[in-house]
Structure 1
């Protein structure tokens, strides 16, 4: 490859990365003022054992592991891509998918839907890794 081709490829990659980050910020903002969200609260929520949901899924880490940079497994043994944005840059870029999985997983773990604050905190945490 020529130097100009490498520069062009690098510039396009940077633009794509910036667009993905903007999508993620928009999704987080949809849950409220991002300044009010806390990565520390998100981490505590993600790692906590909850009651009210299915007994076999008492926490997010049941399937997603305590290390969000690692691949998780469904109860059926299927792989789940890492939750941490640093390990999976495409994570949290599609608002419909984000809502679908929050709805399904929150009901499984909590027995209810997550609040906007819980969603914002968890997304802030996983985006910070």
Structure 2
């Protein structure tokens, strides 16, 4: 094939490749942002999340053996480690982990699971808003 024909053939496949790459990036990015999650929990709670209350909740024990900080660290800006299994955990603060709180289903799953470990119950929308306000407040 002549070089000009190869170039033309390459141009025809570029839109498909570009569309596939964009779709892959969108799938990685998730369906939401930490700010949207904070707004969602604040709306459910009927009040804005408060970072200081979130910090206190995050670092305190609530009747169980662990606090959030037991696995995520205090502050949760570096890699954590599960207290029982030793499994590595990515930083929780969005400024230190761009993927944190960008997938609604994952956010709901892990908050439900971790609240049961820490508080021995599901967390209220107000508690989720407060903790998320705290996590978003942590900057580089």
TM bin, normalised by shorter chain, reads 0.7 to 0.9
Q: Is the partner of 1:107 in helix, strand or coil?
A: helix
Which structure 1 residue ranges, 4+ long, deviate > 6 Å from structure 2?
none
The C-alpha deviation readout for 1:8-66, integer Å capped at 9, x for no partner, is xxxxxxxx9xx88x622222221134862101111110011220x3x3xx201111111
Cα distance, 1:67 vs structure 2: 2.1
Per mean C-alpha deviation after superposition, the further-off stretch among 98-107 and 33-42 is 33-42
* Alignment-derived partner of residue 124 in structure 1: 133
* Alignment-derived partner of residue 40 in structure 2: 30
Contact 2:77 2:92 in 1 (8 A): yes
Matched, 1:69 2:81: no
Matched, 1:97 2:106: yes
Contact 1:85 1:128 in 2 (8 A): no
Contact 1:69 1:82 in 2 (8 A): yes
1: CA distance between counterparts of 2:61 and 2:41? 23
* Alignment-derived partner of residue 10 in structure 1: none
2: CA distance between counterparts of 1:37 and 1:91? 17
Contact 2:94 2:136 in 1 (8 A): yes
Matched, 1:40 2:52: yes
Per mean C-alpha deviation after superposition, the further-off stretch among 24-33 and 98-107 is 24-33
Aligned residues: 107
Structure with higher Rg: it is: 2
1: CA distance between counterparts of 2:42 and 2:85? 34
Gapped runs of 5+ residues in structure 1? 1-15
The C-alpha deviation readout for 1:64-106, integer Å capped at 9, x for no partner, is 1112101110121111000111110110011111110010000
